């Protein structure tokens, strides 16, 4: 069975992520500071998987003055608000958009650490069938396949007879 390999397309949402985050913070009695706003806008201007250190570097390279502590605290708040999802990978935690993107799953190369998104309706049907059988109402799921991508497989192929043992 051939699976589609096109990138996921964002969903249409009624409110911008920064507005959703502002609402979340107001409920908690907190403010959307300029630094938090800059961070949220930066994160949602592109769709990629990133870790906190990459985000600090990207913000610095973009000329934005946001402290490492603010980045870490704001990432936790964005996850709590349902705007970002945290993926716990072999060697790090990566973040991705949760708000405005369809339910999907991931492949993670344990060699180059690349993350590939995919969507499969059979997985969703199986999740729902298992949930129904147990009287469970799912609110989401996380399915992560770890392995080695084709590029890393080719570059690490055995070159000597001893490597075959």
Residue 163 has pLDDT above 90, yes or no: no
Q: 34 exposed, middle or buried (CB, 10 Å; 0-12, 13-18, 19+)?
A: exposed
Confidence class for position 159, pLDDT limits 50, 70, 90: low
Pairing of strands 105-109, 115-118: antiparallel
Every domain of the chain and the residues it spans: 12-101, 102-165
At 12, the pLDDT band (50, 70, 90 cuts) reads confident
pLDDT band at 134 (very low <50, low <70, confident <90, very high): very high
Q: Do domains 12-101 and 102-165 have the same CATH topology?
A: no
Which pLDDT value is given to residue 142?
87
CATH of domain 12-101: 1.10.10.10
Mean pLDDT confidence for 150-159: 77
What one-character-per-residue DSSP string does 36-61 give?
A: HHHHHHHHHTS---B-HHHHHHHHHH
Measured CA distances, 87 to 38, 69, 109, 144, 145 (Å): 23, 20, 13, 9, 12
Q: What pLDDT is recorded for position 1?
A: 43
The per-residue pLDDT for 160 is 53
pLDDT > 90 in the chain, percent: 65
**pLDDT at site 2:** 46
Q: Is 148 helix (H, G, I), strand (E, B) or coil?
A: coil
**28-32, 135-139, 140-144: the lowest-pLDDT one:** 140-144
- Provide the terminal-to-terminal Cα distance of the chain, rounded to the nearest Å: 33
DSSP run (H or E) holding 94: strand 93-97
CATH number of the domain located at residue range(s) 102-165 in this protein: 3.30.1490.190
Count the Cβ atoms, other than its own, within 10 Å of residue 52.
Answer: 17
Surface-to-core class of residue 31, CB atoms within 10 Å of its CB (0-12 exposed, 13-18 middle, 19+ buried): exposed
Summarised one tens digit per residue, pLDDT across range 71-92 is 999 999 999 999 999 998 887 8
């Amino acid at each position: 069975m051939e699976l589609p390999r096109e990138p996921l397309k964002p969903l249409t949402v009624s409110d911008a992520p920064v507005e959703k985050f502002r609402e979340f913070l107001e409920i908690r009695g907190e403010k959307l500071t300029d630094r938090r706003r800059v961070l949220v806008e930066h994160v949602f201007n592109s769709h990629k998987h990133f870790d906190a250190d990459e985000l600090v570097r990207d913000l610095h390279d973009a000329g934005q003055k946001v402290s490492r502590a603010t980045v870490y605290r704001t990432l936790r708040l964005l996850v709590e608000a349902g705007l970002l999802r945290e993926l716990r990978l072999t060697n790090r935690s990566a973040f991705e958009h949760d708000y405005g993107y369809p339910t999907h799953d991931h492949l993670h190369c344990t060699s180059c650490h690349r993350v590939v998104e995919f969507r499969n309706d059979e997985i969703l049907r199986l999740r729902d069938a298992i949930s129904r059988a147990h009287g469970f109402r799912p609110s989401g799921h996380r399915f992560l396949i770890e392995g080695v991508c084709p590029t890393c497989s080719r570059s690490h192929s055995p070159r000597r007879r001893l490597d075959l043992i």
